Amino acid sequence: MNIARSRFIPLFFLAWLALAPRMSWALGLGSVSDWAQGTWNTAVNTTEHGKDDLYFSGYTWHDPGTYTAAKRATLNKHAWGIGWGRHQMDANGNEDMVYAMIFSDSHWNAEPVVGYAHQWMFNNDAPVGFGLGYTLAVTSRADIFNNIPFPIALPIASIRFGKFSIYGTFIPKVNNKLNNGNVAFFFGRYDF
């Protein structure tokens, strides 16, 4: 694998963290602490006033450029799972979600995740809509920190067909080790 490419993603996240206060100010969001407090308030409001959702998962893709064929053959690509959450649309037609899911990870272990997501929505009034955003969550895995819960921040994208949505996120490679990272995870949601 190209070393420059494998180092790009961690450097991108470090640059984002360094620029976040300036971006927050430039976008009129105030300080990072104001953004964090606003995000917390939105998550609480969504929990209290949002519409109920059923989540289900089902597929994990492991990058053939990152994993050997032999290793991919041992990994679980059917990440079956279920969850519950709530969502609501903000004044701009964008979506906030709070959710809790449990699914089978790449090693067939149960992986719980509890989180918040925000998406900027496009084509909301049409039968088919799209969203791009981020999710902030807490998860735990047997192969990472021995099941001690840890935070994650990942990009998220969706396509919506009426009350049914399909979501995808990407877990980037964070080191140069073979058989690690560059995983796409797909799940669905039904709005009640």
| Beta-sheet strands, E only, within the chain | 51-62, 81-89, 95-104, 110-122, 128-139, 150-161, 164-171, 183-191
Q: Which residue among 105, 118, 158, 165 is the active-site one?
A: 105
Q: Which residue among 6, 53, 62, 96 is the active-site one?
A: 62
106 is catalytic: yes
Whole-angstrom CA distances from 134 to 97, 137, 155, 169 are 10, 10, 4, 9
Q: Which of 88, 171, 94 is nearest to 137 (CA)?
A: 171
Rg of the chain (C-alpha set): 17
105 is catalytic: yes
Round to whole Å and give the CA distance between 50 and 2. 44
Round to whole Å and give the CA distance between 49 and 91. 14
140 is catalytic: no
Q: Which amino acid is at 185?
A: F
Q: Give the dihedral sign, CA 25/37/10/166.
A: negative
Q: Which residue among 57, 106, 158, 165 is the active-site one?
A: 106
Which residues are catalytically annotated? 62, 105-106
